[in-house]
């Protein structure tokens, strides 16, 4: 009976996921030209970036048909506090999905009054809010599930031909000591936290480094840790990320600029540690470390 119930639940969950994907796949990126400066999941001084920021002076467009949910323009005094998003607006696309377009040019008109068709002009990118350079910040939020969604997961990814880079891998023992497995080949048995600094560029090495889409760790061919940059959820006021289950983002993003990918238990003998970083386009890079555990 338990097995049958489990199968039914899996079918229902799969159906919900497919329906949401169909809705979201209709979306497009809200600009014609520009450079992705930071992407979803980037480690921003110990905190995750919940959307995507672009460096551009182009017109910002609606990612999909939507109803105007909220708009904040220069001169609005609903709050005495400055808006970190600057001039911004939110569109409701139904089924709980909203898109937010922020840090727009405060001097440019925001023509939306009630609704916007797909690719309709929403304003111009600029400098407003907590931003020091021209561009805009775009994110998707699922109000039903209370989660931020990686736009690259549900909008056709931008062209990406380069593999991610694995810049460093560190093991932290129970005493807080950091070990570089590329330099130290013999370690003591026990539990270790593994942190990985990995970045991605799309077309050229000189581009702004982005976050990968996934980081996976394995020992002797068995997966021991996986960090997925798909969604971030709010649970009782705490922001959570999926890493072999939901855990607070504060823990994952603490080793800035790296990410805490998981916990590994090493037992005596020889061990092969492999780390794989993968981007949204499927490009991947691995690093392998052979260790003697005593």
> What per-residue confidence (pLDDT) applies to 206?
67
pLDDT in tens, 215-239: 999 999 999 999 999 999 998 889 9
The pLDDT tens digits for 17-43 are 444 444 555 799 998 877 888 999 999
CATH architecture classification, 165-293? Sandwich (2.60)
pLDDT value at residue 221 = 95
Residue 211 pLDDT grade (very low, low, confident, very high; cuts 50, 70, 90): very high
Domain 2-30+52-149 CATH superfamily: Glucose Permease (Domain IIA) (2.70.70.10)
- For 241, the token pair is 């990320």
**Confidence bin at 273 (pLDDT 50/70/90):** very high
Q: What is the mean pLDDT of the chain?
A: 86
Percent of the chain with pLDDT over 70: 86
At residue 204 the predicted structure's pLDDT band, cuts being 50, 70 and 90, is confident
- The two tokens of residue 43 are 């480690």
Q: Is 2 helix (H, G, I), strand (E, B) or coil?
A: helix
| pTM > 0.85 | no
Average pLDDT, integer, range 175-202: 95
Residues of the chain with CATH 2.60.40: 165-293
pLDDT for the residue numbered 153: 86
Q: What is the DSSP letter of 249?
A: H
Task: With beta carbons less than 8 A apart as the criterion, state whether 279 and 161 touch.
Answer: no
Q: In this structure, how many other beta carbons lie within 10 angstroms of the beta carbon of residue 38?
A: 20
Domain with CATH 2.70.70.10 in the chain: 2-30+52-149
Spatial contact of 260 and 241, defined as CB atoms under 8 Å apart: no
CA distance 293 to 191: 11
At 251, is the secondary structure helix, strand, or coil?
A: helix
**Mean pLDDT of all residues in 171-200:** 96
CA nearest to 145, candidates 240, 56, 69: 240
Gyration radius of the chain over CA positions? 21
Q: In the prediction, which pLDDT does 184 show?
A: 97
């Amino acid at each position: 009976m338990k097995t049958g119930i489990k199968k039914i639940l899996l079918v229902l969950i799969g159906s919900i996921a497919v329906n949401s994907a169909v809705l979201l796949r209709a979306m497009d990126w809200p600009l014609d030209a520009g450079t992705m400066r930071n992407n979803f999941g980037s480690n921003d001084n110990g905190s995750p970036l919940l959307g995507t920021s672009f460096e551009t002076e182009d017109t910002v467009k609606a990612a999909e048909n939507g109803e105007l949910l909220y708009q904040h323009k220069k001169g609005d005094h609903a709050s005495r506090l400055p808006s970190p998003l600057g001039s911004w607006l939110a569109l409701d696309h139904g089924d709980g999905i909203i898109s937010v377009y922020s840090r727009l040019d405060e001097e440019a008109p925001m023509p939306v009054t009630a609704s916007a068709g797909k690719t309709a002009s929403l304003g111009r990118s600029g400098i407003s809010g907590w931003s020091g350079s021209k561009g805009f910040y775009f994110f998707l939020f699922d109000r039903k599930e209370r989660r931020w969604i990686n736009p690259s997961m549900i909008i056709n990814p931008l062209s990406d031909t380069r593999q991610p880079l694995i810049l460093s891998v560190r093991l932290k023992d129970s005493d807080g000591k950091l070990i570089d497995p590329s330099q130290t080949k013999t370690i003591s048995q026990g539990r270790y936290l593994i942190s990985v600094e990995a970045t991605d560029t799309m077309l050229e090495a000189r581009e702004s480094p982005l976050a990968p889409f996934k980081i996976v760790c394995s020992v002797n061919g068995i997966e021991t840790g996986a960090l997925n940059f798909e969604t971030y959820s709010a649970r009782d006021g705490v922001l959570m990320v999926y890493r072999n289950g939901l855990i607070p983002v504060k823990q994952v993003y603490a080793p800035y600029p790296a990410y805490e990918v998981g916990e590994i238990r090493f037992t005596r003998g020889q061990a092969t540690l492999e780390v794989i970083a993968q981007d949204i386009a499927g490009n991947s890079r691995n690093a392998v470390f052979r260790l003697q555990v005593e």
